């Protein structure tokens, strides 16, 4: 017969179907070492509260250490009948130190405060891993921006040619978004660094245990202020899932550009062979699978977040078993990012830009029209009129099938007497770029400063 943690009140063990439904060891096993760390800390506060004598504490800590080593070595694993990681590890401890010692550990704690604490510990560790991987993507972007300082490209809005920008400026735009995501992880950690251990099932413990001591032992900044909140709250999981989804979405927006840029029609980048795939039937194909998987995985991470929020939505306080459903979505989010980000940073680091093509396309599609309008404004023309005049230049060019800089002096002054030949100063990509020299603008000098700022931000993040 199946052994459970609640034998006393029950005439028989759970039905097979319930046991199968209830079981979580296939996904919560990754929390095993956190559970053991929690048990060590808990054993120490039981001892300090006078509930474990010195010899029992030593036996228990020794058993936990052996159990931990066996978990790491894969010698101790979940058995068929273990409901969850906590149940399995209690069994493992009792197998090692006997029921008289091992059976004392459960005093004053519940799987409800345990799981809430362990999940925070796990996510805090992985938040650091994910942040480092995001910074690798930032580093790859910064390196590409550095390598291509001075190269112009067509800047777009609505995917249409808008104004020339520096390639570095565009790449750094992605870097800043990712740096904010890293900042979000740091900020999340400040709220997640609070330990629910000691909350018990929901009401706290009567055994004189010190939650602050456990919290400090487990690397938390404090213990929770409210034991009901401690066991019921999962906003830390949802918020982590949001930041993970935001990272994936930011990566996906870049991925979408890479996919477009790698087409014959754009021809902006060539992907390294190591980061592209071929086709089983079309010998000429080179596909941007890393970028496509990045775009695809973003949908998956959004699903993880929405599933989690849907699970939480109707739950009364405090613990409900529904909360067991909180783990797989965030584990999936963590696993997905940890496999995606290294591939993505590798792809970005090895992309080769066709800088001649980028430069030659930069002024196309009348992308210097705004420069005409702003030049007119600088010579005193109201913007409303300047916009009209620049628009008329575009119409004239379209009719004649020429570019803005091909309009003759006579044609320019016929459109407006304000259009003196001096306007040609801004009718070049270099002139246009250099003129956008306020903070945040695409002027080469500003972008060089921005590159330093991004590098510093990545270094200190
Ligand atoms: N395995 C559960 C979870 O993941 C924790 C156990 C709490 N179970 C309970 N019946 N109180 O949330």
The Cα–Cα gap between 168 and 159 comes to: 18
Give the model's pLDDT for residue 234: 98
Mean pLDDT of 342-363: 97
Is-catalytic flag, 158?
Answer: yes
pLDDT confidence band for 3 (50 / 70 / 90): low
- Determine phi and psi for 61, rounding to 5 degrees: -65, -35
317 neighbors 232 (Cβ within 8 angstroms): yes
The set of residues, in sequence order, having a beta carbon less than 8 Å from that of 172 and lying 6+ positions away, is: 141, 142, 145, 447, 450, 451, 454
Mean pLDDT of 230-255: 98
| More confident: 7 or 414 | 414
Give the model's pLDDT for residue 2: 59
Predicted complex ipTM: 0.94
The CATH architecture to which 112-199+226-360 belongs is Up-down Bundle (1.20)
Domain 364-460, CATH number (from 2.40.50.140, 1.10.40.30, 3.20.20.140, 3.40.30.10) = 1.10.40.30
**Residue whose CB lies within 8 A of the most ligand 1 atoms, among 10, 31, 112, 315, for a mutation test:** 112
How far apart, in Å, are the Cα atoms of 232 and each of 24, 117, 120, 173, 182?
19, 11, 13, 39, 27
Mean pLDDT of 35-57: 97
Distance 71 CA to ligand 1 centre (A): 21
**242 has a pLDDT exceeding 60:** yes
How do the domains of the chain map onto residue ranges? 14-107, 112-199+226-360, 364-460
Does residue 323 line the site of ligand 1, with CB under 6 A? yes
Name beta bridge partners: 155.
163
**447 has a pLDDT exceeding 80:** yes
State the chain's mean pLDDT as an integer.
96
332 neighbors 304 (Cβ within 8 angstroms): yes
Residue nearest to atom 2 of ligand 1 (CA): 324
Distance 238 CA to ligand 1 centre (A): 18
| Closest residue by Cα to residue 247 from 188, 288, 190 | 188
Give the model's pLDDT for residue 216: 98
**181 has a pLDDT exceeding 80:** yes
**Residue whose CB lies within 8 A of the most ligand 1 atoms, among 18, 78, 324, for a mutation test:** 324
Mean pLDDT of 28-57: 97
Going 401 to 406 to 409 to 413, the CA torsion angle's sign is: positive
Give the model's pLDDT for residue 12: 83
Please state, for a pLDDT cut of 70, what percent of the chain lies above it.
Answer: 99
The Cα–Cα gap between 359 and 172 comes to: 18
Mean pLDDT of 331-350: 98
| Closest residue by Cα to residue 153 from 14, 296, 257, 255 | 257
The set of residues, in sequence order, having a beta carbon less than 8 Å from that of 34 and lying 6+ positions away, is: 117, 118, 121, 122
Rg (CA), the chain: 31
259 neighbors 291 (Cβ within 8 angstroms): yes
Give the model's pLDDT for residue 460: 84
The Cα–Cα gap between 326 and 36 comes to: 21
The Cα–Cα gap between 371 and 72 comes to: 64
The CATH architecture to which 14-107 belongs is Orthogonal Bundle (1.10)
Characterize the bridge pairing of strands 152-157 and 160-166.
antiparallel
Mean pLDDT of 238-255: 98
Mean pLDDT of 383-412: 95
Is-catalytic flag, 86?
Answer: no
| Two tokens, residue 372 | 């005409």
The Cα–Cα gap between 433 and 164 comes to: 7
Distance 85 CA to ligand 1 centre (A): 10
137 neighbors 178 (Cβ within 8 angstroms): yes
The Cα–Cα gap between 22 and 5 comes to: 13
How far apart, in Å, are the Cα atoms of 352 and each of 167, 174, 273?
12, 17, 11
How far apart, in Å, are the Cα atoms of 245 and each of 107, 134, 188, 253, 308?
39, 13, 14, 12, 12
pLDDT in tens, 414-424: 999 999 999 99
Is this structure's pTM higher than 0.90? yes
Render 309-335 in DSSP notation, one character per residue: HHHHHTPPSS--GGGGGGHHHHHHHHH
The Cα–Cα gap between 379 and 287 comes to: 50
The Cα–Cα gap between 294 and 341 comes to: 9
pLDDT confidence band for 233 (50 / 70 / 90): very high
How far apart, in Å, are the Cα atoms of 257 and each of 74, 204, 263, 294?
44, 52, 10, 12
Catalytic residue among 279, 360, 379, 408: 279
Distance 108 CA to ligand 1 centre (A): 16
| Closest residue by Cα to residue 436 from 158, 162, 147, 146 | 162
Does residue 23 line the site of ligand 1, with CB under 6 A? no
Q: Is 49 helix (H, G, I), strand (E, B) or coil?
A: coil
pLDDT in tens, 119-129: 999 999 999 99
Residue nearest to atom 4 of ligand 1 (CA): 324
Helix or strand (DSSP H, E) at 194: strand 194-195
Q: How far apart are the first and last CA of the chain?
A: 54
364 neighbors 403 (Cβ within 8 angstroms): yes
Distance 158 CA to ligand 1 centre (A): 49
| Two tokens, residue 405 | 């800089």
pLDDT confidence band for 324 (50 / 70 / 90): very high
210 neighbors 48 (Cβ within 8 angstroms): yes
């Amino acid at each position: 017969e199946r052994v459970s943690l609640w034998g006393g009140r029950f005439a028989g063990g759970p039905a097979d179907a319930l046991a199968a439904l209830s079981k979580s060891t296939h996904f919560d096993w990754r929390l095993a070492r956190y559970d053991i760390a929690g048990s060590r800390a808990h054993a120490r506060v039981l001892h300090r509260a006078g509930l474990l004598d010195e010899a029992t504490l030593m036996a228990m800590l020794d058993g936990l250490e052996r159990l931990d080593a066996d978990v790491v070595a894969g010698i101790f694993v979940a058995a068929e009948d273990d409901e969850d990681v906590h149940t399995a590890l209690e069994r493992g401890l009792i197998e090692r130190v006997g029921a008289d010692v091992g059976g004392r550990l459960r005093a004053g704690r519940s799987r409800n405060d345990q799981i809430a604490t362990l999940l925070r510990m796990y996510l805090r560790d992985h938040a650091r891993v994910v942040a480092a991987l995001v910074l690798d993507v930032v580093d790859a972007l910064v390196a590409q921006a550095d390598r291509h300082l001075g190269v112009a490209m067509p800047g777009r809005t609505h995917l249409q040619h808008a104004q020339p920008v520096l390639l570095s400026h565009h790449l750094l735009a992605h870097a800043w978004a990712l740096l904010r995501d890293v900042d979000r992880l740091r900020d999340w950690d400040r709220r997640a660094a609070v330990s629910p251990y000691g909350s018990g099932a929901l009401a706290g413990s009567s055994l004189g245990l010190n939650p602050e001591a456990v919290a400090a032992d487990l690397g938390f900044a404090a213990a929770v202020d409210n034991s009901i909140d401690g066991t019921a709250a999962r906003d830390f999981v949802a918020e982590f899932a949001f930041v993970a989804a935001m990272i994936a979405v930011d990566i996906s927006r870049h991925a979408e550009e890479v996919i477009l840029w790698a087409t014959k029609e754009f021809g902006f980048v060539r992907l390294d062979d190591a980061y592209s795939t071929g086709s089983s039937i079309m010998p000429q194909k080179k596909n941007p699978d890393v970028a496509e998987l990045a775009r695809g995985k973003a949908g998956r991470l959004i699903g993880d977040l929405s599933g989690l929020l849907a699970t939480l939505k109707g739950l009364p306080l405090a613990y409900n078993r529904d909360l067991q459903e909180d783990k797989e979505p965030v584990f999936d989010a963590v696993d997905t990012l940890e496999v995606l980000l290294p591939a993505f940073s590798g792809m970005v680091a090895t992309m080769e830009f066709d800088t001649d093509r980028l430069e030659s396309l930069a002024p196309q599609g009348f992308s210097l029209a705004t420069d005409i309008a702003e030049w007119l404004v600088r010579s005193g023309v109201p913007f409303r009129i300047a916009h009209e005049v620049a628009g008329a230049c575009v119409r004239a060019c379209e009719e004649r099938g020429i570019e803005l800089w091909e309009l003759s002096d006579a044609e320019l002054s016929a459109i407006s007497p304000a259009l003196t030949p001096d306007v040609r100063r801004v009718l070049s990509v270099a002139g246009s770029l250099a003129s956008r020299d306020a903070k945040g603008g695409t002027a080469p000098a500003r972008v060089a400063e921005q590159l330093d700022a991004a590098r510093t931000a990545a270094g200190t993040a």
